[in-house]
Amino acid sequence: MSEPQAKIMERRKYYRINDVVLLRYEVMPEPPEGQQPSEDTGGLEISTGSLLAELDRELNKSVNAVWRESPMVAQALGLLNRKISVIAAQALDYEEEGVHSYDSSMVNLSGCGIAFEGRQSLEPGTRLQLSIILKPSQVTLSIAGTVVSSEERLDSAALPFWIRVDFDDDLQAQEQLIQHVVQKQGALLSDSPGQESGD
């Protein structure tokens, strides 16, 4: 089996879903002639809200454990946590302003690529840096990819192109995408009428 065929077979292993995400992208500049493009372009960013929620859960477990030994210390920790939450809420207001630079987009998403509606055509081979905020987790993915195709759509004047992008290999970001896709598929299956009737 040739390398391109093996790549296609490998990509078919990934589940795909239609989903609504917050998306923004920019065309990456061409590297100077003779210089290899940097491969360290992707990554996983946890939003401040997600990180605070996780820390809050961990702290609550600890405070509950402390309460049995020393209710006064636990109360002080609880008050301190509330104070931090007020400050964090103000910080989140600033972060939310940055979210407005994203477009809410209907996409077709998998661990190896994305297809999305676009305002302009992009040439195959164009390199993109994409930022994707997954819902409802608010996890932000930053990942690079290559445009495979831009197909014209007849059903939308505002977003007339369907752009397909293959992601670069980025194990951390792709693992997060795969988890998201599997969770969404599980939710869709549990909401289907067949599941309720016991089929």
Dump pLDDT digits (tens) for 96-154. Answer: 555 557 888 999 999 999 999 998 999 999 999 999 988 888 888 889 999 999 999 88
- Count, in order, helices (H) and strands (E) of the chain: 5, 7
> Contact 12/111 with Cβ under 8 angstroms?
no
CB atoms inside a 10 Å sphere around CB 169 = 11
Gap between the Cα atoms of 121 and 199, Å rounded: 44
Provide the whole-model pTM: 0.60
Give the pLDDT of residue 130: 93
Q: In this predicted model, which residue has the larger pLDDT, 60 or 1?
A: 60
Amino acid residing at 168: D
Give the pLDDT of residue 199: 46
Burial class (CB in 10 A: 0-12, 13-18, 19+), 129: middle
* pLDDT above 70 coverage of the chain, percent: 66
3-class DSSP state of 154: coil
Q: In this predicted model, which residue has the larger pLDDT, 43 or 166?
A: 166
- Indicate the pLDDT class of residue 5, thresholds 50, 70 and 90: very low
Gap between the Cα atoms of 43 and 26, Å rounded: 16
- Is domain 14-29+41-47+102-188 classified as CATH 2.40.10.220? yes
Give the pLDDT of residue 50: 61
Closest to 127 in 3D by CA, of 4, 42, 30, 11: 30
Stretch 3-29: mean pLDDT: 72
CB atoms inside a 10 Å sphere around CB 74 = 17
Is the pLDDT at 160 greater than 80? The verdict is yes
Mean pLDDT of the chain: 76
Give the pLDDT of residue 42: 47
The DSSP bridge pattern shows strands 17-27 and 127-133 to be antiparallel
Is the pLDDT at 198 greater than 50? The verdict is no
